[in-house]
């Protein structure tokens, strides 16, 4: 702060220690006494420190003709103090305390964001140890970054995490049956069922019953039957915090893409389960982020339904 080093602060502390309650705000101690109080610094260093405080306006010199520091009083009680006046410093105490608090808050915020970045980088490293972004970020962290620089790096890291957490076509990654026999046994099952499915979800709106039957993971957490979109929305709102999605984020998504699409996102994500690394990042991406326009609940439910049929 103000370009001061620990040595400057030690000198200032020594000067303050010579003040006595009720005896004014001027230091009368000699340079030798100040040097000893600081811890044995040389007088040249002391003078340099005092000059710096004078430049900053923290100290005012009131020098006597012989450079000695003392106080004289008249018979009427008036006095003149020759020495180093700390009055300017004490008058700015509130300002300096506020600045110090701001610096401390800044330091704590930088540490907090740094820890967030390191955690996310470890997550990225599990997926792709040779990532060029990870190398770039770790090099950046070796420097002393400002708070805005930390915020920018965190945003970049979040974007990288979202790109991992948001598959281009999530249902494609679902596990298929372990052997061809199961597939053959079920291939003949369903021309009629598939036609029924297509007619239900082709050009029509997604039906609540279809969503709750296909996304049975989310449905299983409800103690009552989900009969309509109102029930589904309330249930999705209950599930969201358990998946790491803040209620405020849920509301923002609802305002952005609508209640049905937001609720479908919760149900589909829970159905995909471990295929999504970060529910929060994925939810943000498909409702508020860059994949908002690509998110098609109807198409995903259809794919999930077809996959469920093959794995029965």
pLDDT, position 179 = 40
Domain(s) of CATH 1.10.10.10: residues in the chain:
6-91
Write the CB contacts of 60 (distance below 8 Å, at least 6 apart in sequence). Answer: 54, 84, 85, 87, 88
Q: Which two tokens stand for residue 84?
A: 């180093």
How is residue 281 written in tokens? 């990042």
DSSP of 92-123: THHHHHHHHHHHHHHHHHHHHHHHHHHHHHHH
Left if phi > 0, otherwise alpha if psi is -120 to 50, otherwise beta: which for 255?
Answer: alpha
Summary mean pLDDT of the chain: 82
Q: What is the pLDDT of residue 86?
A: 92
6-91 CATH fold: Arc Repressor Mutant, subunit A (1.10.10)
Q: Report the candidate in 143, 113, 305 with the shortest Cα–Cα distance to residue 214.
A: 305
Closest by CA to 124, choosing from 173, 170, 160, is: 160
Q: Lowest-confidence range among 164-168, 205-209, 224-228, 257-261?
A: 164-168
pLDDT tens digits, residue range 125-157?
Answer: 877 777 788 889 999 999 999 999 999 999 988
Report the alpha-carbon angle 94-97-99, nearest 5: 110
Q: What is the pLDDT of residues 204-214, one digit of tens each?
A: 578 999 999 99
Sign (positive or negative) of CA dihedral 134, 139, 141, 147: negative
Q: What is the mean pLDDT of residues 254-280?
A: 90
DSSP state letters, 258-293: -HHHHHHHHHHHHHHGGG-S-HHHHHHHHHTSTTTT
Answer yes or no: are the C-beta atoms of 274 and 238 closer than 8 Å. Answer: no
Model confidence, pTM:
0.44
Between vectors from CA 303 to CA 300 and to CA 308, what angle results, nearest 5°? 125
Residue 292 and residue 254: Cα distance in Å, rounded?
A: 12
């Amino acid at each position: 702060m103000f370009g001061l080093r620990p040595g400057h602060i030690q000198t200032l502390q020594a000067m303050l220690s010579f003040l006595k309650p009720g005896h004014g705000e001027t230091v009368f101690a000699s340079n030798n006494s100040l040097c000893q109080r600081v811890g044995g610094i040389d007088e040249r260093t002391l003078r340099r420190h005092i000059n710096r405080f004078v430049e900053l306006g923290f100290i005012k010199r009131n020098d006597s003709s012989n450079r000695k520091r003392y106080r004289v009083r008249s018979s009427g009680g008036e006095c003149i103090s020759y020495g180093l006046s700390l009055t300017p410093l004490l008058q700015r105490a509130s300002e300096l305390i506020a600045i110090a608090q701001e610096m401390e808050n800044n330091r704590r915020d930088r540490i907090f964001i740094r820890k967030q970045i390191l955690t996310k980088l470890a997550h990225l490293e599990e997926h792709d140890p040779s990532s060029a972004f990870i190398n770039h970020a770790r090099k950046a962290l070796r420097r002393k970054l400002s708070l805005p620089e930390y915020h920018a790096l965190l945003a970049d890291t979040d974007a990288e995490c979202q790109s991992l957490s948001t598959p281009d076509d999530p249902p494609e990654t679902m596990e298929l049956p372990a052997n061809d026999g199961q597939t053959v046994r079920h291939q003949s099952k369903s021309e009629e069922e598939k036609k029924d499915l297509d007619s239900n979800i082709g050009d029509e709106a997604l039906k609540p019953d279809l969503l709750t039957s296909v996304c049975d993971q989310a449905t299983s957490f409800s103690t009552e039957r989900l009969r309509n979109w109102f029930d589904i929305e309330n249930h999705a709102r209950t599930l969201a915090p358990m998946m790491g999605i803040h209620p405020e984020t849920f509301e923002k998504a609802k305002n952005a893409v609508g209640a049905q699409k937001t609720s479908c996102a919760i149900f589909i994500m829970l159905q995909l389960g471990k295929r999504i690394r970060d529910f929060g990042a994925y939810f943000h991406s498909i409702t508020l982020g860059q994949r908002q326009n690509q998110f098609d609940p109807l198409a995903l439910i259809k794919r999930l339904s077809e996959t469920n049929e093959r794995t029965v």
